[in-house]
Homo-oligomer: A and B are copies of this chain.
Amino acid sequence: MQRVVIDPSQIDGGRVRLDREQSHYLYRVLRLHGGDRFIAIDGGGRWWLAQLCAEAQAELLEELAVSTELPIAVTAIVGLPKSGFDEIVRQTTELGVTTIAPVTSDRTLLRPSRQKLERWRRIVKEAAEQSERQIVPDLLDPVPWDAAIAAVGEARRYLCVARGDDVPHLCESLRVSSGEAVAIATGPEGGWTPAEVERAIGAGFQPVSLGRRILRAVTAPAVALSIVAAAYEVQ
Task: List residues of A whose CB falls within 8 A of some B CB.
Answer: 67-69, 87, 90-91, 94-96, 130-133, 169-172, 211-216, 219, 222-223, 226-227, 229-231, 233-234
Contacts and interface: CB of A to CB of B under 8 A. Distances in A.
A171 B211 contact: no
Given A91-B219, A219-B94, A222-B91, A68 B213 contact: yes
Nearest to A215: B94
A43 to B, nearest CB: 15
15 contacts: A67-B212, A68-B213, A87-B87, A91-B222, A94-B215, A94-B216, A131-B214, A131-B215, A132-B213, A132-B214, A169-B230, A170-B230, A211-B229, A212-B233, A222-B222
Contact of A211 (B130, B211, B233): B233
A96 B213 contact: yes
Nearest to A212: B68
Given A68-B213, A213-B96, A219 B219 contact: no
Contacts of A229: 211
A94 B222 CA distance: 12
Contact of A172 (B87, B132, B212, B234): B234
Given A68-B213, A222-B223, 15 more contacts: A68-B212, A91-B219, A94-B213, A130-B216, A131-B214, A131-B215, A131-B216, A132-B214, A133-B213, A171-B233, A172-B234, A212-B233, A222-B222, A222-B226, A226-B226
Given A87-B87, A172-B234, A233-B169, A130 B222 contact: no
Contacts of A131: 213-216
A40 to B, nearest CB: 17
Centre residue among A87, A230, A231, A234 by max chain B CB count within 10 A = A230
B67 A216 contact: no
Nearest to A66: B212
A85 to B, nearest CB: 14
A214 B130 contact: yes
A95 B223 contact: yes
